[in-house]
Each structure stands twice: as structure tokens, then as C-alpha cells.
Chains A and B, each alone.
Chain A
Amino acid sequence: MNPEITDMKSTNNELSLHNDQKDKTLNRIFEVDDLNVYYDDFRAIRDITINVFANEITAFIGPSGCGKTTMLRSFNRMNDLIPSAKITGNLSYRGANLYDKKVDPVEVRRRIGMVFQKPNPFPKSIYDNVAYGPKIAGNVKKGKEMDNLVETSLKKAALWDEVKDRLKSSALGMSGGQQQRLCIARAIATNPDVVLMDEPCSALDPIATGKIEELMTQLKEEYTILIVTHNMQQAARVSDKTAFFSVEVEEESDSRTGILVEIGPTEKIFSNPEDIRTENYITGRFG
């Protein structure tokens, strides 16, 4: 347990009370500065600089191989699971360096939850899926307290009404859309600060996608959300800020690197982008 991060978390609670002050520097959840991620010698993303603000949905869009997912997985140190991954530059979470030697990735992931591209519920009951995170964190007692937490998490994920009569049945028996909402419930059950979503709707049909999008706009009241999406309409519909990533091919070595082209308010990115590459991409002339 890192005391610094715990402090940050408590500041967050106070912060939400004074949200109307609109102090932008305090509202910064993530500050990314000149971030590079390498897999062995391959540079996946280069010199990324981004700020992410509290209670906003920030969408990452761009063609395949542009490093969106790599960027997203850097925010909760999921890239640590890949032995060859190496990171340079600075990524701070509420002012604390996430890649400091003293930082425990497990603590990071409790505060920065994640929803994956393919729904990946545990092969356990619906109840146990939601209860798993709080249970291993050890801060929620079994029984009534846990029951309540499971219920509120499932309600926040707009799944409660559909599953309240079969909490003990296997999560694998649910539809894809339900499974993905269960994964969202599982992620928010640990009471995170941020939720990362890696193309959460790419395996879902339009109706399930609509539900998840609606859910995201509700969840941003409480959480900061970062989402990677291939669906530009989705980014336009749900996000407050949009970051457009692209691939840069180096002529001599033919090596491909993900770069950030621009980031800004979603409206501006989609109506009046500053960079011609962004315009080409969103109008469908590229990628």
C-alpha cells in the first residue's frame, strides 16, 4: 500500500465537494508527459502528452496499430504484464508518478479499473463476479454489506433488474451485452476513481452498445472514464474530449509508431479539427 496514493484518494473525496471551484489543475486526473512505450526495440507510442480531467469521458480514436490500447493500458500499469514492455516519460495520477518504484501496480488497479474488449467475466456466479474485487481488497465484510455493494454495483451498471433473481447462476450463461455490463459492475465494485474501457462495445450488437453508451454518460458523474473505440460515432456521442492517434511509418526502417495527432473537445475534433490528418480520418478519407 502506497501512502501517497491513499492520500490522493482522500483528496479526491474532498475535491468532489468543491467541484464548482473548477480548479483545472486539481481536476487533472492524469498528466501524461512525453510518454513512450516500447515492446523490446519496437516503439509502440512516441512522445504522448495528454491531460485527462475528472468526471469527463476521454475517447481515444485512430486507425489500427496506432497505440490507443497501449496508451490506455499504461494508465493502470496493465502493460506491466507484458515482460518486454518498457516505458519512458512521465505519467502521473493526481500528481503522483504512477511509474515510481514504490508504486504497487495492484493498488493502482484498485483505483483505476478496467473493462476489456471482449467480455471476460470470471467463470463464477454473477454475485461472485461483482464481489471478487472488494473481497480480495478486504475492505468489505461478507454478508449484508457485500450484498448491498453487489446490488448497488449492478444497479449502477444497469443490470440489476435483469439478474436480481439469478445472482447465484453462472455469469457465462448471460448474453454478451449483459456480460459486458457485468464486467463494468465488477470494475466499479472496487469503488475506483477511473474506469478504463478498451473498445467495450466492439463485440456487442447495436442495442447492447446503446445501453453501454447510456451507462457511460451516467457513470461519468462519479467516475472519470477513458475509452478506446474504433467507432467514431460512439466517440462523438459519448465523449467530452477526443484524442486522435495515428501511425507514423518511418521510411528507412519501415518501423511503425503510434503518435498523438491532436486532442481537444469532442465537438471541435469532429467539426473543426486543427490537423488535416484528423479531418481526413473522421471524414473517412483515411484509415
Chain B
Amino acid sequence: MKLTTLNNGAEYARNRTAQDLHGSKFDYSGIIFRISLLIGLGLGILILGAVLWDVIGDGTGYLFNRGWDFITGNASSRASSYGIFEGLRGTFWIGVFVIVFSFPLGIGAAIYLEEYARDTRLTRFIELNIRNLAGVPSVVYGVLGLAIFVRALDGFYPNSIEKHLGSTTAAAGSTLAILVLPIVIITAAEAIRAVPQSLREGGFGVGATKWEVIRHHVLPYAAPGIFTGTLLSLARALGEAAPLILVGGVLGSLGPKSSLFEIEQLGERFTAMPLMITQLAKKPAFIGDWNSATAGAILVLLVVVIFANLVAILLRNHYEKKRS
């Protein structure tokens, strides 16, 4: 700025203000932070993309060739005739157990902790422990399932083919239901905690009982969060392999084929999609089509999990729309 060209003080002041307002400092740390965030995001997407690319590349051709036979067939010693039905059936029943036992129990526990329990030391101790339980490695839950559902409740299911072994579908489902229970409780409790107190007061203010406030106002408002959390935990349960190995999942064919919905198989031995994938991946890649079969099985499991997530998103949107 050339002072000599200024002819009055007002113009000088104006120019001076303008000059002061021009930022002189370059926000290096901000830019670096932003770049590192982008790198992190990019790496995540890159890895996911690479896995998908690999699996889709290996598996789609195989899936198209096999068609429904791959879905409805039993495990076999040849890749060209391998079927994942037994795994799908096990995974289906595990999902049923999680939905039937973990969801009501977990959401109920969350309602109790948030709405009914007094804020005492005992309550806080319990909450802390639920959080810790959510972080316990899944293998440990496998040991728990082995001790309780396989050993202690051995022979509990009267139709058990091999009564001396409690490694049944029911034991596997119960183990995974227990595994996701803390996660269900935590996410549901977070969603309930996020319900504004003013909404509860509005309900009480017109003479609603505690249960009416919870049923009519708290739960509908918390529903999107509860559904998102619980269904994501379902997806997690469907993908677990380690606890199933400990509970005694079969890494081979189960023998004669029974239908998906037959309740008797709760007392029979089981396998599940993650176990089948483990087993398929261990087959020598250079013999037959095992590599493609593995990729095909992974694709099917991915579709199942994505479907669970999709339902979660749809339910969330539905209830979010309802509350606005």
C-alpha cells in the first residue's frame, strides 16, 4: 500500500482495515490434519475395494456356473459339486437365536438401566461390566458356550442324534446370542439416553404413566438407534467363526440333508457360513475350483450381512420419518 497516493485519512483507515482482514497465516496444521484424514479414509476404502475386487473376480463366474445348486447343495469333496446349504442353515438359525433371545433381552435390559434403575453404585458397576463384556474377545465366549451350552446343558435337547455331544445348533445360537447381548444393551441404552427429557416431561405432564411414556414416546423416538445397533450386532454374530469352532461346529458335511425350517435340527450338529469359508479356504488352491468356491461362499455371506444392514437402514429411515 502506497501511503503517498492516499488523499485522506478515511481512505487510509479503510485500506488499513481491509489489509488487516486479509489472512496472513496459512493453516498448515489444519491442512495436514485434513490430508491425514483423507489418507485414512482412502486406505480403508482401498482395502475394502481390493477384497471385494478379489472376491468378486474369483467368485462370480463360479456362482453363475453353479447357480442354485451351490446354495441348496450339501458340502462335498469336490469343488465342482460343493454346496453351502448346511452353512446357510446354521447361520439362519444363529440369526433366529440372536433375534429371539438377544434383542428382547438386550432392549429390555437397556430400558431397565435407563428408565427404571436408580443411579446407584451397583447400577454403575453393572453398566461398566456390560461395557467390558462387549470388549471380551469372541473366542472367550466360545469357551463360555462350550462350558455352559455344550457341557452343562448336554442332552437338554431330546432329539439330539448324538446325545453324548451337546455341540448342537441350539448351543451355537445361544453362544452367539450371549456374545452380542452386551452390544445390544449398550447400543439400545445409548439410543434411549438420547431421547430428550422434555419429551418425557411432555408425556408425564398430560398424565401418562411411566410405562405409557416409555411405550408411546421414549421407544418410538429411540427406535432408529435401537434398530441400527441391534441389526449391526446381528451382522456381527453372523460373521463370527471362532466361538463356533470352540462350541464344536462341524468342518465338513453333516450328512443327510434336512430342510431350512425344521426345528428338530436345533438338537443336531451344526455348521455355519464362516466355518464353511474357513474350511474351503484351507483346501489346496491348485486342485479343482476351491479358490472360486471359497470366493463364492464369501460372496453369499456378504450378501446375507449386507441384507441385514439394509434392513437396519430401512427400519431406521422408517422410524426417523415417523418422529419428524
Contact = CB atoms under 8 A, between A and B. Distances in A.
A170 B324 contact: yes
Contacts of B221: 123
B199 A109 contact: no
Interface stretch (A48-56, A131-139, A259-267): A131-139
B207 A106 contact: yes
A110 interface: yes
Interface in A109-156: 109-110, 113-116, 118, 120-123, 132-133, 136-137
B204 interface: yes
Contacts, number: 69
Contacts of B73: none
Given A83-B119, A172-B324, A116 B212 contact: no
A107 B204 CA distance: 11
Contacts of A110: 206-207
B158 to A, nearest CB: 47
A81 B204 contact: yes
Interface residues of B, number: 23
A187 B201 contact: no
Interface in A83-121: 83, 106-107, 109-110, 113-116, 118, 120-121
A186 interface: yes
Contact of A78 (B205, B208, B212, B324): B205
Contacts of A78: 201, 204-205
Query: Which one of A132, A186, A187 has the greatest number of beta carbons of chain B within 10 Å?
Result: A132
A83 to B, nearest CB: 6
B119 A109 contact: no
A210 to B, nearest CB: 24
B323 interface: yes
A132 B206 contact: yes
Contacts of A172: 324
Contacts of B124: none
B202 A116 contact: yes
A120 B199 CA distance: 6
B34 interface: no
A76 to B, nearest CB: 8
B324 A122 contact: no
Given A81-B201, A83-B118, A107 B206 contact: no
A135 B322 CA distance: 20
A116 B201 contact: yes
B118 A136 contact: no
Interface string B82-115: 0000000000000000000000000000000000
Interface in B304-324: 322-324
Contacts of A118: 198
A195 to B, nearest CB: 10
B203 interface: yes
A120 B118 contact: no
A123 B207 contact: no
Interface string A186-211: 11011000000000000000000000
Contacts of B202: 116, 120-122, 183, 186
B207 A136 contact: yes
A81 B201 CA distance: 9
A76 B323 CA distance: 28
A175 to B, nearest CB: 16
Nearest to B198: A120
A133 B207 contact: yes
Given A123-B221, A136-B212, A113 B205 contact: yes
Nearest to A170: B324
Interface in A20-72: none
Contact of A187 (B199, B205, B324): B205
Contacts of A114: 201, 205
A161 B216 CA distance: 28
B194 to A, nearest CB: 13
A83 B119 CA distance: 9
Nearest to A107: B207
Contact of B206 (A81, A123, A170, A190): A190
Contacts of A183: 202
Query: Which one of A76, A81, A118 has the greatest number of beta carbons of chain B within 10 Å?
Result: A81
B198 A109 contact: no
Query: Which one of B118, B200, B204, B322 has the greatest number of beta carbons of chain A within 10 Å?
Result: B204
Given A122-B202, A123-B221, A136-B209, 6 more contacts: A81-B204, A116-B205, A123-B199, A123-B220, A136-B206, A187-B205
Nearest 10 Cβ contacts at the A-B interface: A133-B206, A110-B207, A120-B198, A114-B205, A123-B323, A120-B202, A109-B207, A106-B209, A106-B207, A136-B208
Interface of A: 76, 78, 81, 83, 106-107, 109-110, 113-116, 118, 120-123, 132-133, 136-137, 170, 172, 183, 186-187, 189-190
Interface of B: 118-119, 196, 198-209, 212, 216-217, 220-221, 322-324
14 contacts: A78-B204, A78-B205, A81-B201, A115-B205, A122-B203, A122-B217, A123-B199, A123-B220, A123-B221, A132-B203, A133-B206, A133-B208, A136-B216, A187-B205
